[in-house]
Amino acid sequence: MGPAELVQAAAMARRFYLEGKSKIQIAEEFGVSRFKVARVLETALERDLVRIEIRVPSELDAERSDALRARYGLRHAVVVESPADAPAAYGGGTPTEDAADPENLGEVAAGLLGELVNEGDVLGLAWGRSTIHMAAALHRLPPCTVVQLTGVYDAGTADRGSVEAVRRAADVAGGEAHPIYAPMLLPDPATAAALRGQTGIARAFEYFDKVTVACVSIGSWAPGISTVYDMLSEQEREHYASLGAAAEMSAHLFDADGRRIGRDLGERCITVEADRLRRIPEVVAIAGGRRKAAAIGAVLRSGLVTSLVTDTAAADHLLLETGPGPRPALDRADPDGV
């Protein structure tokens, strides 16, 4: 390009990229066709006269996020830096066995919910450390109703757990709160059924079919990273492990292929049913770390989740999986066909 062409290309690029003018407007200003403008802008990119830089906050991994969204057919996938991958100045350090940071994941999920929830929606929150951190990080939500989707891990910690998370989210939204003051897991189906019939719990259950956006956590079938695993006896753990338990979400168990197992356990639990979860338009899962990666993949295969907030440690594992990925946000198919 000669000097006149360079000057003209720079001027056109400035109009298009910085001033937001259309190609037609630029063509009229310079007395050329819009096709000529398009060619000049393309040449400006090729000759490095214009450089386009896409920047997102350093803790977000845009490339992995897009790859994960495409791989699993998710509506939204947001991948954050694992603590082990972050620069030392930002708290990173030596990689650990499980690099999950539920507080950071919760903060990012809070931002995502701020985008997804609309006025008049019903937001459902299931028990989980990440969802509790998410609720604590909420700063804005449109006016909406908030309902608890599961009982609590320990009724004695309700004020610091999911009940408080529901109340916190409702306060931010200026809407009604419908918490569940009951344990997630009961000794037998009869006790669970009796609790479901209590007025406050029954009222919360009535909202399950109205939930438009849900937020859930995922656990692996191992101590310390599965609420249900930690609540069961050793004999019960071995029984469900023999059935192929690989993951749990909201007290529902899944094998590695995303098929539900141990359905009898649900009869003892205070939780939203899987078929109701499948009918919720937007189900956001929050989970990260290498130890949870396989479990996240299993739950994605279940077709119950439409969006995911995770970290680079889990994303790298999920992106290495072979074979066609599930498309939960597109068809919400049940692997069991049930």
Q: Got the DSSP string for 259-287?
A: -EE-HHHHTTB-B--HHHHHHSSEEEEE-
Are 122 and 145 in contact by the 8 Å Cβ rule? The answer is yes
Q: Does residue 55 lie in a domain region?
A: no
Could you tell me the CATH number of the domain that includes residue 123?
3.40.50.1360
pLDDT at 154: 60
| Dihedral angle, C-alpha 242, 72, 75, 80, nearest 10 ° | 80
Q: Are residues 38 and 120 in the same domain?
A: no
Q: Does residue 52 lie in a domain region?
A: no
331: left (phi over 0), alpha (psi -120 to 50) or beta: alpha
Q: Are residues 141 and 28 in the same domain?
A: no
CA distance 228 to 230: 5
Q: Are residues 213 and 275 in the same domain?
A: yes
Q: Are residues 41 and 92 in the same domain?
A: no
Q: Does residue 266 lie in a domain region?
A: yes
Q: Are residues 144 and 169 in the same domain?
A: yes
Q: Are residues 83 and 163 in the same domain?
A: yes
Q: Does residue 338 lie in a domain region?
A: no
pTM of the model as a whole: 0.78
CA distance 291 to 62: 22
Q: Does residue 113 lie in a domain region?
A: yes
Q: Are residues 112 and 9 in the same domain?
A: no
Q: Are residues 35 and 156 in the same domain?
A: no
pLDDT at 82: 81
CA distance 223 to 280: 30
pLDDT at 159: 44
Q: Does residue 337 lie in a domain region?
A: no
pLDDT at 54: 60
Q: Are residues 27 and 130 in the same domain?
A: no
Q: Are residues 32 and 112 in the same domain?
A: no
Q: Does residue 159 lie in a domain region?
A: yes
Are 211 and 122 in contact by the 8 Å Cβ rule? The answer is yes
Domain hosting residue 98, numbered range? 60-331
Could you tell me the CATH number of the domain that includes residue 35?
1.10.10
Query: What is the chain's pLDDT, residue by residue, as a tens digit (338 residues)?
Result: 667 788 888 889 989 988 889 999 999 988 999 999 999 999 988 888 887 766 555 578 888 999 999 888 899 999 998 876 544 333 444 444 455 677 888 889 999 999 999 999 999 999 888 888 899 999 889 999 999 999 987 644 444 577 889 999 999 999 999 999 988 999 999 999 999 999 989 999 999 999 999 999 999 988 888 888 888 889 999 999 999 999 999 999 999 999 999 989 989 999 999 999 999 999 999 999 999 999 999 999 999 999 999 999 999 999 987 665 667 767 777 777 65
Q: Are residues 24 and 124 in the same domain?
A: no
Q: What is the DSSP letter of 90?
A: G
Number of structural domains (the chain) is 2
Q: Are residues 135 and 157 in the same domain?
A: yes
Q: Does residue 306 lie in a domain region?
A: yes
